[in-house]
Structure 1
Amino acid sequence: MTTEETEGAARRHVRVVLVDDHRMFRTGVQAEIGDTAATGVEVVGEAADVDQAVTVITATRPDVVLLDVHLPGGGGVEVLRRSAPLMAAQEAPVRFLALSVSDAADDVIGVIRGGARGYVTKTITGTDLIDAIFRVKDGDAVFSPRLAGFVLDAFASTDAPPVDEDLDRLTQREREVLRLIARGYAYKEIAKQLFISVKTVESHVSAVLRKLQLSNRHELTRWATARRLV
């Protein structure tokens, strides 16, 4: 970073809380954005589950919260629900930017309906993430490519989405595994993508097969494709 860029960063400042249940990921994000002198981003707190997140956010009143969608204790939507008074504050409202491995439409729409100002996936570069944080602080809506279409489609329709009782039987994590299976990912690839063990992936697949009364991954793929979940 040039001297001019460093001086520009010094003139802007944003306080951020990281909410993600994977410590190594939080450490990686800190490494990308945590040099306050260079980027203007100050990480003022971290949390690994819903209760911790609400406590830290309430105590620190950050400008922006980087929020994972899938968290122990109810997920990112629950954090948003419990943080609603802070988002609605007249002065210095807390704004939320979802940062998740999931690019599923229902995840994106769920957190945006909950009050998040944007949604980016974990493939985002450090530079783009810093830019997204400042834009959200300023009140802009920020989305990774193609995710904005989900939101436009959802809010353009005045009709309530149809209820899919079979899909509703699945947890958010099971839906995430289902989509990756349907896209042809191997168990090891899914485990790496979701930061979970292969054994946990196998358990989720077994649960999905049982709940949907399907026999194998090929039937899962056909089922997901028919519902345009892939």
Structure 2
Amino acid sequence: MSVPRVFVVDDHAMVRAGVRAELGGAVTVVGEASDVDSAVAGIRATVPDVVLLDVHMPGGGGRTVLETLRAELPDVRWLALSVSDAAEDVIAVIRAGARGYVTKTISGPDLVSAVQRVAEGDVVFSPRLAGFVLDAFAASAPSAAPAEDPATDPGLDLLSAREREVMQLLARGYTYREIGSRLFISVKTVESHASNVLRKLQLSNRNELTRWAATNRLL
């Protein structure tokens, strides 16, 4: 995997410095900005792989940056990094086109993992945020799954009880390490179960798994 090129947007210099320090050599930080106008100009100039985007900033906030540039720069991926875990903030920025949303309580290693996953096309949520985001989208989706048949995919029957547990946690945005801790199994075992889940369900990545789980009301 190539090193992701990242642009950091936050109105606090201390936060930007901390993010750069936590990301270290795992990414290449190509620029940073503290407000909407400088963010739009900087992202246009650098065209990064991933924008780490604060939600609340002077001049309109992170959502304004995203909505200004999303159509113009379709290959740029957006990951919200915010102190806020309010439902309205999360849902608004995801609807605007962000690929994920993590809070500033995230650890350095998990932030690196989140950036890398978003760069690869995955979706990432802090675990406690994923449920209500998916609920919001399921509520607005037209007939995602028939109410009388909540789990129609026959692939579900192919999963063992442990694989179902891993599948649900993966779909909710937990990392392999967090899943291992919750289920008292090793990260290597989690990786093996995750691989089996994707193979049995004929899915390619976590993004597809999340949609599949939401459609089948398994979250």
TM-score, normalised relative to structure 1 = 0.59
The count of residues paired between Structure 1 and Structure 2 equals 141
Among 105, 113, 121, the alignment partner of 2:87 is 105
Other-structure match for 1:158 = 140
Matched residue, 1:30: 20
Aligned equivalents of 1:13, 1:75: Cα separation in 2:
27
**Alignment map for 1:52-71 (pairs within 5 Å):** 52-71=38-57
2:51 maps to amino acid: V
Question: Does the 8 Å contact 1:18/1:43 carry over to 2?
Answer: yes
Alignment root-mean-square deviation, CA? 1.2
1:79 corresponds to: 65
Q: CA deviation at 1:47?
A: 0.3
Provide the residue aligned with 1:139 in structure 2: 121
Distance 1:158 1:107 in 2: 17
Corresponding residue for 1:174?
none
Percent identity between the two aligned chains: 66
SS of the residue 1:69 aligns to: coil
1:12 Cα deviation from its structure 2 partner = 2.9
**Cα-to-partner distance string for 1:34-73 (whole Å, 9 max, x where unaligned):** 3x2xx2x000000000001100000000000000000111
* Paired AA for residue 17 in structure 1: F
TM value normalised by structure 2: 0.62
Distance between the aligned counterparts of 1:157 and 1:147, measured in 2? 16
Unaligned 5+ runs, structure 1: 1-10, 160-230
Residue 124 of structure 1 is matched in structure 2 by 106
**What does residue 5 of structure 2 align with?**
15
| Cross-structure match for 2:35 | 49
- Distance in 2 (alpha carbons) for counterparts of 1:71 and 1:110: 15
Contact 1:47/1:53, CA 8 A, preserved across alignment: yes
CA distance in 1 between counterparts of 2:23 and 2:77 reads: 17
Q: CA, structure 1 residues 108+149, in 2 after alignment: closer, same or farther (shift >3 Å)?
A: same
The one-character-per-residue Cα deviations of 1:60-105 (angstroms, maximum 9, x if unpaired) are: 00000000000111011101110122442xxxx0000000000000
**Offset at residue 136 of structure 1 (A):** 0.3
Give the residue type in structure 2 aligned to 1:99: L
CA distance in 2, matches of 1:27, 1:72: 19
Kept in 1, the 8 Å contact 2:70–2:76? The answer is no
Per-residue CA shift, 1:127-162, capped at 9, x if unaligned? 000100010011111000110112111111138xxx
Alignment of 1:164-203 (within 5 A): none
SS of structure 1 residue aligned to 2:127: coil
1:87 and 1:118 mapped to 2: Cα distance? 17
Q: What secondary structure does 2:84 align onto?
A: coil
Equivalent position of 1:184 in the other structure: none
